[in-house]
Structure 1
Amino acid sequence: MYKLYLELLVTFFKIGLFTIGGGYAMIPLIQQEIVRHGWLTFKETIDIIAISEMTPGPFAINAATFVGVKTGGIPGATFATVGVVLPSFIIVTLVAKYSARFKDQPLLQYALYGLRPAVIGLIASSAFLIARATFFMTPSGSVCIFADIRNVLKMVNWRAVLIFVVAIIASLKYKIHPILLIVLSGVLGVILYSV
């Protein structure tokens, strides 16, 4: 069991250390690591994203805690959560201590300019993976990667598309508060999927 705790700590430390941009930028690495270790399936990681967005707190901490509890109980949750938080704690402490000395350095500014598009790419990658898993399912329920054009319409999850369109319109046109939108989407999901 101690091996599992150490593995959770090291894995989530790596996730916390190497994902610049936090939150959504972490999704590809979190997903890859969780599935690679066999802690959760691809579909379960998509569910974690939804659960983490509905619960208070940062996504990475919620995901780490969830995976930790599922694989190693409360001690597993503790090790995974400490692992994902520790790199940020160390880095923010060092930046706070030395930021005044290096803030005007051109190389630091250039590095930050280089990180911005990479973070956008990671977030876009996450959005693509989540959309693909949400909107396109094969009849067996596994995620569709590439589909024959003739069968695409058969594999579209039209209920998910409807909820997505309603959420976009409610958000952009009617400026519905995100919390209310999450609750309404959950209610709409219960109605549409129970029919």
Structure 2
Amino acid sequence: MEQPQRVSLFEILKVFFLIGATGFGGGMAIVSLTERVCVHEKKWVSMDEFMHGLAFGQILGPFSLNTCTFVGYYLRGPVGGILAASAFITPSFILVCLLSWLYFRFHELPQLQSALNGTNPVIIALIIVAAIGMGRSKVRGKDAWIMALAAFAAAALFDVSALNILVAATVWSLGRSWYRREHR
């Protein structure tokens, strides 16, 4: 891993606050935004480093938060990680408090439900764009595509956890490697 560039703590705070404020749609939609900003626009981390942080973050829980924390930690150590995480969750915290108040005040309006349902296609599109972009850069060869599609199907259709998918992929890869070595 190469040495990260020196980024000010204020810049980390500003960028992750904006990601937290503008990121909408959950995990992969926010990861896609984080990737675009941190890898492509700011060039703070390489795609490989970002993917390592994303993979590690998925094992531990809320991976969009963990990915932001990883980038902050990578750039400025523990203080950068804490700052990135805090800046990322602050807009959501404020927004959830405000929306909760509004919801309980106006929850009987049918227009509110219609407005919320209208955002679903945009969220799905963001997730598809993120998956395709990350897939193109990391998935190489027929076996890798089969594994990626199987992992996607397991997660999307059967709600299998990332940890179980990772274990299954590891077992499959080791078995495939052993089979190829034995049958050359």
Instruction: Quote the residue 1:131 is aligned against.
Output: 135
Instruction: Quote the residue 2:148 is aligned against.
Output: 164
Instruction: Quote the residue 2:167 is aligned against.
Output: 183
Q: Are the counterparts in 2 of residues 52 and 63 from structure 1 also a CA contact under 8 Å? A: yes
- Give the letter aligned to residue 31 of structure 1: E
In structure 2, the CA distance between the partners of 1:16 and 1:168, relative to structure 1 (3 Å rule), is closer
Q: Are the counterparts in 2 of residues 64 and 81 from structure 1 also a CA contact under 8 Å? A: yes
Matches for 1:60-79 after TM superposition, within 5 Å: 60-79=64-83
Question: What is the SS of the residue equivalent to 1:20?
Answer: coil
Does 1:25 find its partner at 2:17? Answer: no
Does 1:50 find its partner at 2:55? Answer: yes
Give the deviation of 1:86 after TM superposition.
0.5
> C-alpha separation between the residues in 2 aligned to 1:105 and 1:70?
46
Question: What is the SS of the residue equivalent to 1:160?
Answer: helix
Instruction: Quote the residue 1:141 is aligned against.
Output: none
Instruction: Quote the residue 1:7 is aligned against.
Output: 11
| Same amino acid, percent of matched pairs | 29
The number of equivalent residue pairs is 171
Q: TM-score normalised to the size of structure 1?
A: 0.74
Deviations 1:138-178 (A, max 9, x none): xxxxxxxxxxxxxxxxxx43342243355468x49xx7953
Question: What is the SS of the residue equivalent to 2:29?
Answer: helix
Instruction: Quote the residue 2:126 is aligned against.
Output: 122
Give the deviation of 1:191 after TM superposition.
6.8
Q: Are the counterparts in 2 of residues 8 and 68 from structure 1 also a CA contact under 8 Å? A: yes
In structure 2, the CA distance between the partners of 1:61 and 1:190, relative to structure 1 (3 Å rule), is farther
- Give the letter aligned to residue 16 of structure 2: F
Question: What is the SS of the residue equivalent to 1:38?
Answer: coil
Does 1:39 find its partner at 2:44? Answer: yes
Q: TM-score normalised to the size of structure 2?
A: 0.78
Q: Are the counterparts in 2 of residues 134 and 160 from structure 1 also a CA contact under 8 Å? A: no
- Give the letter aligned to residue 42 of structure 2: H
In structure 2, the CA distance between the partners of 1:115 and 1:176, relative to structure 1 (3 Å rule), is closer
Q: Are the counterparts in 2 of residues 134 and 157 from structure 1 also a CA contact under 8 Å? A: no
Q: Gaps spanning 5+ residues in structure 2: where?
A: 1-5
Q: Are the counterparts in 1 of residues 17 and 87 from structure 2 also a CA contact under 8 Å? A: yes
Q: Gaps spanning 5+ residues in structure 1: where?
A: 136-155
Question: What's the RMSD between the two structures over aligned residues?
Answer: 2.9
- Give the letter aligned to residue 181 of structure 1: I
> C-alpha separation between the residues in 2 aligned to 1:105 and 1:39?
44
In structure 2, the CA distance between the partners of 1:48 and 1:108, relative to structure 1 (3 Å rule), is same
